[in-house]
Chain A
Amino acid sequence: MEYTYYPGCSLTKTSKPYDLSTRAVFRALGLGLHELEDWNCCGATVYMSVKETVSFSISARNLALAEKMKRDVVAPCSACYLVLNKTNRFLRELPDLNAKVNDALSAAGLYYGGTVRVRHPLEVLINDLGIEGVAAKARRSLKGLKIAEYYGCQIVRPQRGFDDMEFPQTMDRLFEALGAENVYFPLKVRCCGGMLMTTANDVAMKLCHDLIACAQGNGADCIVTTCPLCQMNLAAYQDQLSAKFGEDLHMPILWFTELLGLALGLDVRTVGLNAHLERIPEKILSLAA
């Protein structure tokens, strides 16, 4: 199976391991990813907030380019996944907006007919290969590893997409099939604060504290996530969090593709686990031994 790959800004810089591991996992599973040529920013939550018509246009430029490729788009970043899907949805719902956006696109020699399906890699693996299909390719067991699966906001809401929006299970079942143990983690879809880390720091710090403390309290070895922003918020401020709340809030925060990659027999560098800000303990690194 072949897909058009849309990495998005975060995966070129702050979330490189997510990019590496997604490409590597798809390769290992025999799925083809073809990077969308000359892609631009999805428009991001930020631009949506300040100028939505422009935002829909720059988002639709990606979709117009992808439409020519005639394949489903795979977008690992939750924010890109949400924004591209939202653009699709609003262009369908609002003919006026559609006309405006296509007029702008025509200035760049493009047209978007609204036929592109934007999908998240987790959903692609679950639906196109199936959990058994993925597990059949596993070369190592994750036995003994305790995981808190953290889905974040944007892949379960607001699309009513591929999993339950209050208590999703796809990632849980996937890692269970690979031998890991899931801890009780009721904050699966609780917000990490997102951009509030820069605009309302106190709020975001408290949200991140709650997530890490909950996972730790339930005995998780690591949190596994699907989103660049969740990973960054949870991983990059662990020293500040620990100082602020007077608790040890250090914990490895992995992208689901990294851990999946290890289970598929890939090594630590191939999935990018050597490039984390937070310390990755031996228990996880030794899985690749």
Chain B
Amino acid sequence: MFVNFISKSAPPAFSQIFAPKAIPEMTTQLATPLIIEENQEPEHIDRDFALKVAQRAGGRQLLRCFACGTCTAGCPVAEIDERYNPRRIIRMVLLGLKNEVLRSEFIWLCAGCYTCQERCPQGVRVAEVMRALRNLAVEEGIVHPAFKAQAELIRNMGRIYEIEDFDNKKRVRAGLPELRKNIEDIKTLFERQKLNERLG
């Protein structure tokens, strides 16, 4: 005799189990209906800002941020100074708050330790975004004085520290070749990049 071990009655159809419940119609009305017109955004919102940042080296992944906060949770700077918050900065970029971001001192507070970047589940290169934001700020004429001073040294000499006669004497005594005090190539590279920027 054939015994059905599985089921006496036929299982319910798939569509019966997962049939969506009817959604009750919305009865509440907004007190004042929203009026959405073209160009009603606050003036300071720059719709293209996130895309501009995304076009920078290491910026593209920014658009994938889902605001989980892993970056902020592991950030050593945020732990000490809670005004600094990488997730918030990323969110502000995505919302197009260009001036608020570029004019804030926070973008200069990132220590560049890359903890956030390595831990971000979405592959956002958070530290690179901070670098890109500083670059954009500089293009708007906003630059942190400490960064400016060091950048000028590199531009003028090709190195951060000046090589003095004393250093070269020591090098020669140790059997090393002298280092040139100024590296002309750096000015050449700099001029060429500036020229290219002007030509677009």
Contact = CB atoms under 8 A, between A and B. Distances in A.
A48 interface: yes
Interface stretch (A36-44, A119-127, A177-185): A36-44
13 contacts: A12-B167, A38-B183, A40-B158, A41-B154, A43-B154, A50-B138, A58-B186, A61-B189, A108-B185, A154-B114, A157-B117, A203-B77, A204-B111
B177 interface: yes
Contacts of A193: 76, 111
B80 A90 contact: no
Contact of A49 (B81, B134, B176, B186): B134
Interface of B: 56-58, 76-77, 80-81, 108-109, 111-115, 117-118, 125, 127, 131-132, 134-135, 138, 143-144, 146-148, 150-151, 154, 158-161, 163, 167, 176-177, 179-180, 183, 185-186, 188-193, 196-197
Nearest to B187: A108
Contact of B113 (A35, A58, A157): A157
Contact of A97 (B57, B81, B131, B192): B57
Contacts of B151: 46-47, 50-51
A46 B186 contact: no
Interface string A88-104: 00100110010010011
A153 B119 CA distance: 13
A196 interface: yes
Contacts of A236: none
B66 to A, nearest CB: 20
B133 to A, nearest CB: 9
B109 to A, nearest CB: 6
Given A103-B192, A158-B117, A193-B111, A61 B185 contact: yes
B19 to A, nearest CB: 47
Given A12-B159, A51-B151, A202-B81, A158 B135 contact: no
B124 to A, nearest CB: 12
Nearest to B190: A54
Given A47-B154, A49-B147, A196-B109, 12 more contacts: A9-B159, A12-B167, A46-B151, A46-B160, A57-B193, A103-B192, A107-B189, A108-B185, A158-B114, A158-B127, A189-B115, A203-B80
A45 B128 CA distance: 11
B113 A194 contact: yes
Interface centre among B118, B143, B185 (most CB of A within 10 A): B185
Contact of A207 (B76, B186, B190): B76
A195 B167 contact: no
Contacts of A40: 158-159, 183, 185-186
B113 A9 contact: no
The 3 closest A-B pairs by CB, nearest first: A191-B113, A157-B114, A40-B158
Contacts of B111: 153, 191, 193-196, 203-204
A203 B167 CA distance: 34
Contacts of B113: 153, 157, 191, 194
Contact of B125 (A44, A50, A158): A158
